[in-house]
């Protein structure tokens, strides 16, 4: 698993969450300003977002391995009509290998407090962070 820790780790992180862990999971475009309520900010894209500095992004952790494979990303890029097929294929990737290990780390961090999954995609309804959040909320199945 390749987790990349960045400067500013712990940015705005409140104490541990004592409620439903999924209630403390949110999504945000990496281009939006960090807020204290974000908790741990985790970039879930394989590629660094264009035009964003590490300092401005306020990213605590970059989990490259949790992003869809290049083949999967290219297969579905710009095809919102294939959203369901993408979600199924991505869920399969999340169940094994490096993505599975990164997903386990993400679940562990979620148990420690609020998380914000960061993504760069313009389409806020059809991107890997949306699919990842739904997968986590279903219990990773």
pLDDT digits (tens, 9 = 90+) for 56-102: 999 999 999 999 999 999 998 878 899 999 999 999 999 989 999 99
- 15-19, 21-25, 38-42, 62-66: least confidently modelled range: 15-19
What does DSSP say about strands 115-119 and 61-63: parallel, antiparallel, or unpaired? unpaired
Sign of the CA dihedral with 86 first, then 26, 62, and 135 last: negative
Residue 72: per-residue pLDDT: 94
Q: How crowded is residue 116: how many other Cβ atoms within 10 Å of its Cβ?
A: 25
Closest alpha carbon to 32 in 112, 128, 117, 114:
117
Give the pLDDT score at 77: 83
CA distances from 14 to 3, 10, 11, 89 (A): 21, 9, 9, 34
Over range 128-137, report the average pLDDT.
Answer: 96
Give the mean pLDDT of 49-59. 92
Reported pTM: 0.82
Decide: 108 and 8 in contact? Cβ < 8 Å.
Answer: no
Angle at the Cα of 78 from the Cα atoms of 5 and 90, rounded to 5 degrees: 55
Nearest to 30 by CA among 18, 48, 12, 14: 48
Percent over 90 (pLDDT), the chain: 72
**Rounded to the nearest 5 degrees, what angle is found at the Cα of 101, between the Cα atoms of 98 and 107?**
140
d(CA 20, CA 89): 27
């Amino acid at each position: 698993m390749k987790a990349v820790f960045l400067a500013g780790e712990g940015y705005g992180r409140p104490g541990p969450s004592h409620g439903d862990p999924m209630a403390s999971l949110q999504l945000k475009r990496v281009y939006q300003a960090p807020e204290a309520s974000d908790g741990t900010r985790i970039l879930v894209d394989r590629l660094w977002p264009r035009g964003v500095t590490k300092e401005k992004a306020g990213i605590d952790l970059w989990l490259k391995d949790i992003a869809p494979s290049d083949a999967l990303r290219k297969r579905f890029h710009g095809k919102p009509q294939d959203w369901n097929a993408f979600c199924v294929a991505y869920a399969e990737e999340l169940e094994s290998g490096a993505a599975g290990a990164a997903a386990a780390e993400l679940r562990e961090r979620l148990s420690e407090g609020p998380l914000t999954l960061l993504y760069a995609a313009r389409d806020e309804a059809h991107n890997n962070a949306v699919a990842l959040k739904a997968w986590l909320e279903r219990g990773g199945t």
